[in-house]
Structures are given as C-alpha cells and as structure tokens.
Amino acid sequence: MPLVVKAAVAFGPNEPLQIREVTLADPGPGEVLVKLRATGLCHSDLSALEGKIAQTFPVILGHEGIGDVVAVGDGVTDFAPGDRVMPYLVPDCGECAFCKSGRTNLCVQMMVRRQSAKTPFSLDGQPIASYCGLGTFAEMTVVPVDSLVKVNPGARTDHACCIACGVTTGLGAALITAKVTPGSSVAVFGTGGVGLSVIQGAKIAGATRIIAIDTNPAKAAIALKLGATDFINPKDVENIVVEVQKLTGMGVDFAFDCVGHPGLARQALESTNPAWGLSVCVGVIPAGQELSAAPFNLMTGRKWTGSLMGGAKRVDVARYVDMYVDGTYGLDDLVSHHLTLDEVNKGFEMMRSGEAVRSVVVYVAD
C-alpha cells in the first residue's frame, strides 16, 4: 500500500525547497523500500538545484543517505527488512560493458536513471522526480536493488551517510583513481567535504607531504587536523603554482581539483611534477565549460584525468564504512552541522557561504 512521507521538494531551479507530504509507491520487482536515518547535503545537489547540471523539476534531491530496509519487492533476495543499507549514486547492473570490464564504476544505468521519467514519488497525482533514482531528501524512499549496498550497522549514521558520496569520492580519488603512493607529495585544491576526504585518503596511502589549498582561512585548522602538512590561501600569494613548487622542488606527485573550476583544474595540473605528475579532476565542472592546457605541460610526461565518484563501486562503499568503523579515518570534524528536514534550505545557504563543512539532515537519531 502506498505511503505518505515528508519530503523536501524542489519545484524549479534556484527556488527554495518546499516541505511537502508526498506519496511513495510500494517497491516493485527488484526494488527496496528504505526508511532513512540521515542524509548529507552534497554540492551535487546544489549544482542540480542551481541548474549547473541537467535536472527535471519538480524533484526530490538528495543522494547521501543511510537507513534500514522496510520491505522488498518481488525477486529481491540479497536484502531483508532490518538490514542497514546505503543507496549509492552509481548502480552496478552487472550487465553493461562497463560493469563487466571490472575496471570502472561507470554503469550505464546511472545516466539512464538520471534521464528516466520513472519515479516512486508523486504529489496530487503528479510525478515528482527522484534524484538519480535515490531521492534521500525524503523520510523514506524506494531504490533499485543494484543501487543499494548493505553496510556495517556499527557506523554512526549521522556521520556515515556522507560516505554515500562525498567521502567515497574523495577517498576513492586518492586510493583508486590516483593510487597515491607512500612517501609521495599531494596538493588538494578545495577543502570542502570531498577535498578533506582526499586529504584523508592521501594520508591513509602514506603520502608524506599533503598541501591543502583554499581561499577560506577557516578551513586551515581542519585540513591540518585531518592530515594536511601545509595550508596555502591563494589570496595570500602571487602565484599558487609557484608556491607549491617552492614546497616540493619540482611540483607534487599528485594534485586534485576538488572544486570543479577550469582555472583551478589547470593550476592543479601545472603544480604537478613535469615528468610524472598526475592531476585528477574531482569536482564537477558546470556543463558548457571546457578545460585547456599548454600542450607542453602534457608532453613532458604529466597525466590529466578525471574521477567520477572516486572510481568506487558498491563494494568499495561498504569497505569505506568498515574503515570508518575501525578508525582508519574519522568523520567527526567533517560533519559540522546537524539539521532537521525543515532546515534543508538553511543547509544550502551555509554551503554557499562556506560556513558549513558538511551539513546532515537527521531523520532518526542513533
């Protein structure tokens, strides 16, 4: 029987989200009904809200969720009521060429579901899109089974929810995409939730010099606490690339643009060692913008690549939750604000201003 649940609905780009009671359909074949305990506010949600990435409206945003299985649809055998689960942005259909390759997380179903009109949510009989098939800005949601992962129930949910996207993106960029090496040097451009997770990933990998770069001086303390060895505010220096070279001699071994800005992506590339440096684009660059580089910066041996969700699969998400539970890395300093669903617009305001490192909507307290 369909349920009535509370949700934050975006009716148009750049409009405040409205708290409404919406109808949630029963899980169909291959689907799971999840009661959410918490969800993080991610910059990708803001990008969709601001029209920087294509999005159908009205929509229930949100994709950094964690919760418990309530019911399963026909054919679902891997999940049962009571399981602690995390919806994941990138499906794992197991059938497409990407999934079968064993080398990538770029399942074709990710974009299919981004563009699909199918949704479990409706309001007054009219469909409401579910962001990437997840829609975690609702008390409950229905998720395809291949976008769901069973996770360690010992994880603190108001922190672990961030592993569903931002933390996994950052850890994966360092550990899976770049494969940061012991004793290496790293520069991280942008120290939001993703950048701070890159820093933690680089520390786990054994990097000995980790340079955090951000225009917000308030980010210095947390970046250094989580593993950065140096902090540079670009506003305080004449040339950020030169400053990185001063600290490292010939440039860093690995650089990460965690903002999603073409100019920063180029600076990240130029800050790497000219013979073997690897620069990774992690932040989402708005549609319509392009990257450019002086050809010689690549011809000498540098490499330039991107990292979608850190290259992580569902199994990696579960592994990162386990690593959080066993203390390999921490989230106490990453989650700066706890909100109710009614305060979701405040969360986006703090994201825009830089006041929040990561805000989390708590549905059910641990």
DSSP reduced 3-state for 244: helix
* Cβ pair 310, 176 in contact under 8 A: yes
User: At a CB cut-off of 8 Å and minimum separation 6, what does 289 contact?
Assistant: 262
Contacts of 340-343 spanning 24+ positions with Cβ under 8 A: 341/6, 341/7, 341/8, 341/19, 341/137, 341/139, 342/19
pTM for the complete prediction?
Answer: 0.95
Counted residue by residue, the chain has a size of 366
Q: How far is CA 100 from the centre of its chain?
A: 24
Q: Six-digit token pair at 150?
A: 């069973």
pLDDT, mean over the chain: 95
Return the exposure string of 148-178: e unless at least 16 CB atoms fall within 10 Å of the residue's CB, then b: bbbbbeebebbbbbbbbbbbbbbbbbbbbbb
Is the backbone of residue 271 left (phi > 0), alpha (psi -120 to 50) or beta? alpha
- Reported as a single tens digit per residue, the pLDDT across 309-356 is 999 999 999 999 999 999 999 999 999 999 999 999 999 999 999 888
CA distance 234 to 236: 5
Domains recognised in the chain with CATH numbers = 3-166+311-362 (3.90.180.10), 179-306 (3.40.50.720)
Q: What is the pLDDT of residues 159-203, one digit of tens each?
A: 999 999 999 999 999 999 999 999 999 999 999 999 999 999 999
Per-residue pLDDT reduced to its tens digit, 17-46: 999 999 999 999 999 999 999 999 998 999
Q: CB within 8 A of 342, min separation 6: which ones?
A: 19
Cα–Cα distance measured from residue 118 to residue 211, given in angstroms and rounded to the nearest whole number? 44
pLDDT band at 366 (very low <50, low <70, confident <90, very high): confident
Determine the pLDDT at residue 114: 81
Residues 6+ apart with CB under 8 A from 319: none
Percent of the chain having pLDDT more than 70?
100
Can you give the C-alpha Rg of the chain in angstroms? 20
| DSSP 3-state of 84 | strand
Asked whether the predicted pLDDT for residue 204 surpasses 90, the reply is: yes
Q: Which pLDDT band holds residue 113 (cuts at 50, 70, 90)?
A: confident
Please give the C-alpha separations between residue 20 and each of 11, 13, 66, 347, in angstroms, as whole numbers. 11, 17, 21, 18
Give strand pairing partners of 128.
Answer: 121
